[in-house]
Amino acid sequence: DAGVIQSPRHEVTEMGQEVTLRCKPISGHNSLFWYRQTMMRGLELLIYFNNNVPIDDSGMPEDRFSAKMPNASFSTLKIQPSEPRDSAVYFCASSLTSEAFFGQGTRLTVV
Amino acid sequence: GENVEQHPSTLSVQEGDSAVIKCTYSDSASNYFPWYKQELGKGPQLIIDIRSNVGEKKDQRIAVTLNKTAKHFSLHITETQPEDSAVYFCAARGFGNEKLTFGTGTRLTIIP
């Protein structure tokens, strides 16, 4: 398996634009997580899904953030409209039992 | 909710020496404690984990200890090598909960 695949790896966008981050979890995994990493706040869990159903979205910072998992092999995290303070590295991770496998991340820069 | 504190934030050790990173957690119901290593430009990768029914676990040069009473756990790396240089994160998770709460990370530098 190629592991958790995220796209794009880098995204630079202007304030106010919509940004969509994509994630393909490891085949067979039933849990998917979206994390945000910044110097100030470290690794924060934004939302996680179990069997494609959102279980805990308490970490989603604002209504500007939304996440979907239409099927077991694909998830998106959308920010609309984006703001400079959204600049961070966004990680997707998936798991079947205990171990969470992380993707390479998407570095988002909002200017 | 769970709160995980990690110390130190940076650590430099001479190659061949040992490194120790410590974490404390707040939720006594937490029962799974993984350690992740993050190299530059990559996602975190699990290096070792421990469950609350075990006090110590070892895998070659890496070991983790858990003190449930004091609610703290530690990562020990012996015979450090340059490739051990990275950021290390501890985490904690409660029973029946998928949610991992991470510490703030330790940047470990191995001095050749």
> How big is the A-B interface in CB pairs under 8 Å?
46
* Whole-angstrom distance, CA of residue A25 vs CA of residue B107: 28
pLDDT, tens digit (0-9, with 9 covering 90-100), for B46-90: 999 999 888 999 999 999 999 999 999 999 999 999 999 999 999
- Residue A38: what are its φ and ψ, rounded to 5°? -135, 160
Q: Is B32 on the interface with A (CB under 8 A)?
A: yes
CB pair distance less than 8 Å for A42 and B105 = yes
State residue B99's pLDDT score. 85
- At a CB cut-off of 8 Å and minimum separation 6, what does B70 contact? B24
Q: Lowest mean pLDDT: which of A95-99, B12-16, B93-97?
A: B93-97
pLDDT, tens digit (0-9, with 9 covering 90-100), for B5-56: 999 999 999 999 999 999 999 999 999 999 999 999 999 999 999 998 889 9
State residue A1's pLDDT score. 65
Paired tokens of A55: 């279980």
- Residue A86: what are its φ and ψ, rounded to 5°? -80, -5
Chain B residues in contact with A98 by the CB 8 A cut-off are 32, 34, 49
Q: Is B27 on the interface with A (CB under 8 A)?
A: no
CB pair distance less than 8 Å for A102 and B44 = yes
How, if at all, do strands B19-25 and B72-77 pair? antiparallel
Q: Is A104 on the interface with B (CB under 8 A)?
A: yes
**Closest among B104, B77, B101, B109 to B89, alpha carbons compared:** B104
* Whole-angstrom distance, CA of residue A59 vs CA of residue A74: 20
